Structure 1
């Protein structure tokens, strides 16, 4: 019988909870998708009091998917895994170096966005339309709401979960590089349904566009994971993530109001 030392047992437990985090992340894909479908059904009914304005519908989707989804899942995993005797996440007051990482990470993430946009243009692949972009056609002002919520809700909830919980737990049991890659994969996967058109048969082009978008998000996830490890501060990837999303929201708001072609992947 093999006897495990304290460190080996600790690594095994961390791996177990990291695996649980992976399972929870997978379940969240279905939960978020089901909620978005429910809101779409409510809107399609078009009868009071069930009919909801697009801005309200969008706000509910963000709050439920992000705060009640990733936020509650993060808290439950942290509590159940008995990590309250340790720092919940690596967080501290940002330094000048952190601010430099925020600036560099934000520029890099936006550069990655345009790199993939031009790649899709060069390959002749139409950019996939995000469900939020379709909602914005009815009320473009939801993009302004999204921009406001990008850092304090979207960036915070997702970074606490994917970096502060998943990446940290896996990092205790596996090499840091493995933890960053796995967290990045899980970061990209929940966006799949958002990039696939709703209603009607899906075409090969639909899957190609969604696949490219997911690869882009995986690369963004690698950047966020690396920044988290370099800074040792979850505030840094949270702000970078929020700037990345906020930039897209504001850009799409401008091109929608102006009646121009959509210039950003959302």
Structure 2
């Protein structure tokens, strides 16, 4: 992570927030757009886009190109982008290089992965328990929406067998490169660790609104709120280790666990 210490300007926080949100939302939007175009192209040549193929397209374009691709492109293009933006805003130009910490985790970081996974999963369970308890006591249904991937998995359990390894190999790495590596890293240039982690977590969780199907506005908002908890764990682990592989593993194993439990419930429950 780079720093703008000594070259601070009142406009830098605004630029950081706008660029961070733009990068996160832009990466996902690009991936979704490419997924739709890819699906239409396959349909035009006579190939049926089955649920499994649709998931493959989504993984390749959203997590692969949209998330990881945009993140890596930003790291490489950032020096030029920074110079142009700062020159137009009249902000002093520096030679700092934006970077994403990435390396094979050592023993200490392996422990962080284990602890982070437990905390993320415990937080999600606590959130789900709180929602269930509230609904029971209040005698009401919040009508929370369902994640689109989970919905497809419930209708086609074989898709979950694809999503389980993909969570660790593509979903975790792709989304963490973009959101923790780039979005949080960009905010960290001008904000404190707590502000950067919380803001990134809210943005990350909020963008999942578009991945929900059904549910009421209130129910979906509550679902997004629950998602903030594991996202805070991802962000904290990156800040603590400065190694994006750590939150990528936590995120991937967390998602893989959810898909595994869903598969067992559908097939054996």
CA distance in 2, matches of 1:60, 1:148: 15
Q: Which residue of 1 aligns with 2:168?
A: 151
- TM-score computed with the length of structure 1 as normaliser: 0.80
CA distance in 2, matches of 1:53, 1:231: 40
Secondary structure of 2:79's partner? coil
Alignment of 1:1-266 (within 5 A): 7-8=6-7, 16=15, 19-32=18-31, 34=33, 49-82=46-79, 86=97, 88-124=99-135, 125-197=142-214, 206-258=216-268, 260=269
Cα pair distance change 1:208/1:137, threshold 3 Å: same
Preserved CA contact (<8 Å) 1:196 1:207: no
Give the aligned CA root-mean-square deviation in angstroms.
3.0
Cα deviation for residue 120 of structure 1 reads 1.6
CA distance in 2, matches of 1:81, 1:17: 13
Cα pair distance change 1:135/1:166, threshold 3 Å: same
Cα pair distance change 1:234/1:15, threshold 3 Å: farther
Cα deviation for residue 108 of structure 1 reads 1.0
CA distance in 1, matches of 2:213, 2:152: 14
- TM-score computed with the length of structure 2 as normaliser: 0.80
The runs of 5 or more residues in structure 1 that have no matched partner are 198-204, 261-266
Q: Which residue of 2 aligns with 1:200?
A: none
Cα deviation for residue 148 of structure 1 reads 0.5
Identify the range of structure 1 (220-229 vs 10-19) with the bigger mean alpha-carbon deviation.
10-19
Secondary structure of 1:173's partner? coil
The runs of 5 or more residues in structure 2 that have no matched partner are 81-94, 136-141
Cα deviation for residue 35 of structure 1 reads 5.8
Cα pair distance change 1:14/1:72, threshold 3 Å: farther
Cα deviation for residue 161 of structure 1 reads 1.0
Alpha-carbon deviations, 1:37-59, whole Å to 9, x = none? 6789899x8x9824222111111
Alpha-carbon deviations, 1:53-102, whole Å to 9, x = none? 21111111121111110112112222221299847311233121111111
Cα pair distance change 1:95/1:225, threshold 3 Å: same
Aligned residues: 246
CA distance in 1, matches of 2:36, 2:223: 21
Preserved CA contact (<8 Å) 1:129 1:195: yes
Preserved CA contact (<8 Å) 1:15 1:172: no
CA distance in 2, matches of 1:112, 1:234: 21
